[in-house]
Amino acid sequence: MKTLVIGASENTNRYANRAARTLLQYGHDIELVGLRAGQIQGHPIQTGLPELTDVDTVTMYVGARNQAGYVDYLKTLKPRRVIFNPGAENSDLARQLKEEGIEPIEACTLVMLSVGTY
């Protein structure tokens, strides 16, 4: 099972980049989607809405106003949960996901990893 990081960036100062590197450090399999192609520790950052399978968790680093293009994509992926990191909270999308049987979580992926609740 994989974690999909939405909002991935090669910029090491961005939280999505830190989360991707930390997920790898903790042994998680990751997929990366961002606005620009690139890579994080050898893992490609894909653009658009790539076809993925076995996505267990989506960790969202895109603000609510930029999430509209991901709504149907998330429903198609059918992850177990979507983590809305600080700044990415979206109660409307959370409600829609819950209706699809996807657990929305408002939390910080980095904190969850560090305290063992991921």
Q: Please state, in angstroms and as integers, the Cα–Cα distance from residue 78 to each residue in 7, 19, 34, 88, 101, following that order.
A: 18, 21, 19, 19, 8
Is the distance from CB of 87 to CB of 16 less than 8 angstroms? no
0.85 exceeded by pTM: yes
What DSSP designation does 114 have?
Answer: H
Residue 4 contacts residue 31 (beta carbons within 8 Å): yes
Query: ∠42-117-10 over CA atoms, to 5°?
Result: 25
User: Which tens digits make up the pLDDT trace of 70-112?
Assistant: 999 999 999 999 999 999 999 999 999 999 999 999 999 999 9
CA 97, 63, 2, 83 torsion-angle sign: negative
Work out the number of other CB atoms within 10 angstroms of the CB of residue 38. Answer: 17
What is residue 1's predicted lDDT score, i.e. its pLDDT?
83
Percent of the chain whose pLDDT exceeds 70 = 100
Contacts of 15 (CB under 8 A, 6+ apart): 61, 85, 110
